[in-house]
Amino acid sequence: METQRLDQELTWSWGHRPRSEAMAPPPPLAASTPLLHGEFGSYPDPSLRLALTLTPQALHIQKLRPKPEARPRGGLVLLTEVSGCCTLRSCNPSDSAAYFCIYTYPRGRRKGRRKATHTFQADGAATYEENRAEAQRWATALTCLLRGLPLPGDGEITSRLLPRPPRLLLLVNPFGGRGLAWQWCKNHVLPMISEAGLSFNLIQTERQNHARELVQGLSLSEWDGIVTLSGDGLLYEVLNGLLDRPDWEEAVKTPVGILPCGSGNALAGAVNQHGGFKPALGIDLLLNCSLLLCRGGSHPLDLLSVTLASGSRCFSFLSVAWGFVSDVDIQSERFRALGSARFTLCTVLGLATLHTYRGRLSYLPATVEPASPTPAHGLPRAKSELTLAPAPAPPVAHSPLHRSVSDLPLPLPQPAMMSPGSPEPLPSLSLNGGGPELAGDWGGAGDAPLSPDPLVPSSPGSPKAALLSPIIEGAPETPASSEFLPPTPDGDPVAVSPGGPLDHLLPPLGTPLPPGWVTLEGDFVLMLAISPSHLGADLVAAPHARFDDGLVHLCWVRGGISRTALLRLFLAMEHGSHFSLGCPQLCYAPARAFRLEPLTPRGVLTVDGEQVEYGPLQAQVHPGLGTLLTGPPGHSVREP
């Protein structure tokens, strides 16, 4: 009975629940409401006495001795900057004090995040058991606030309030981000996840479509989320792999997350904005998204079902592009060693050889218009001349693929860490959800080192205590109708998903469209159909878009725009202000479905940055089909 209650609380925090089930969040507390208050010593200097006050948004620290502070300086720890906490005990049996440690990543003077550790000594009682209970009370309350778990109004705060640690499958593309993805993972992501007390297994992908094949063989009930550490391409593989399973209706509900370790980090930029952080790039963006992941919380994610000229389907979480954007995306592959700078270089090259493309764009307008990106400027509309009742597309049978992967445990070799002047080695960093690294807490010679004192002991079903179900091995099964498109001009086949829901709004490609559609024909410089707000980590293409607004946001630029005007649009897109420029060639429309028919014989089409076959395509939004690990939404109110 206790296990069932804890799992229910876990689903509230991490969002992995049946869609029909509704759980009301706890009533909101004022930002300055004191939840806990007490006096503690500081570690490693126990003579420094501190008064701690915990509120729903921050931990306030005030020095009491040796010299009290009338106005605390630097004594505010925002929970948005906390990755996790833990309780510790001294290795000296005569020490009756207990300890709890908080791991934070505040911004420095140069705006970059740096790790800071705060360790507090609970020593107000005569016995260790009483001091331990007080340390665990604070650590439990802080963990509940971080993960969005309700605190009892007048009840006792004990570690029984905490569920088992969430279990995450981490998929790392070691070649992402100019080959830095694996280094960033080891140096930044894994320590933070361990500090948060999350359980995980980590697998490195070895080739294109490896992640797609891998998720088809997973026992998804054993995982609370799948997180990719790469660019947007790896998540594209994961989502299409989930939708290619025979049980796709349940599989696609598995929460997925992204930690930006690649060149194209558009979805991470949208997650960063949703979390209330300022725009960031590189390591700062990675740390922001890691902090949000550590706190848990998910959000429904719209997915776009894209039907290609051959009749194959794939699912998009990001964008469909034609023209200038897709040209830059694919041409930049030649300069992948430059990282994100490759997009800037190819944008400049694309402006120098600006092309226009003849085509026809049709779309089904949204029933309810979203807030206009620029109320001061009207956007053009057109009337459709094509009318015919749609016919539903027939379902396509498929067969899953399976590849062998490594299973738990996955230890990484690490050198032994020794504290200065201490004869005992420090605890190693556990890569499967164990205690975090404590090297920053040592005081030096003569101080007894501390050891982890976990709040929630490992349960028999946790990944650390027992191996999970193995992932099925075997050669990939090739169905009669191939799951891969014809090779792209580069020779690499592009995986598509024949599973997933039917597109009830779309007639078959090549047949007339039903009434109510808008059709435009002419010369285009670019056409972009985007679901989230960001086209890149620093490009806000649809600033008003939300993860679950049920819309695809169509942006296109007509022919006749000058190179200077187009450059000005992309520069303004860094702040999401391009619609306010009043450019007559820039058009926008929210839609539920669209069809694109290129009339130029040659060109490039991309789905989520991946090149697909060139020709007519159409797409429909499936609202809230997926689930995205976003962390809690950001708050504009900050404590003084």
Report angle CA 580, 300, 407 to the nearest 5 degrees.
125
CB-CB contact of 437 with 431 (8 Å) = no
- Burial of 540 by CB count in 10 Å (0-12 exposed, 13-18 middle, 19+ buried)? buried
Q: Which position has the token pair 């094949």?
A: 213
Report angle CA 503, 252, 182 to the nearest 5 degrees.
125
> Phi and psi (nearest 5°) for 412?
-110, 140
Distances (CA, A) of 454 to 3, 15, 282, 323: 18, 24, 33, 55
CB-CB contact of 619 with 305 (8 Å) = yes
Determine if the peptide bond prior to 365 is cis (ω within 30°): no
Closest by CA to 618, choosing from 608, 633, 609, 607, is: 607
CB-CB contact of 563 with 378 (8 Å) = no
Residue 175 in tokens: 């070649």
Q: How far is CA 360 from the centre of its chain?
A: 34
Distance CA 175, CA 182 (A): 8
Handedness of CA 479, 482, 483, 487 (dihedral sign): positive
Active site residue 232: yes
The 10 Å Cβ neighbour count of residue 379 is 14
Residue 275 in tokens: 């979390």
CB-CB contact of 635 with 276 (8 Å) = yes
Buried-state track 155-188, b at ≥16 Cβ within 10 A, e below 16: eebebebbbbbbbbbbbbbbbbbeebbbebbbeb
Residue 480 in tokens: 């009669």
Report angle CA 148, 273, 369 to the nearest 5 degrees.
100
Distance CA 120, CA 44 (A): 9
Residue in 123, 224, 232, 549 annotated catalytic = 232
Q: Which residues form the catalytic set?
A: 232
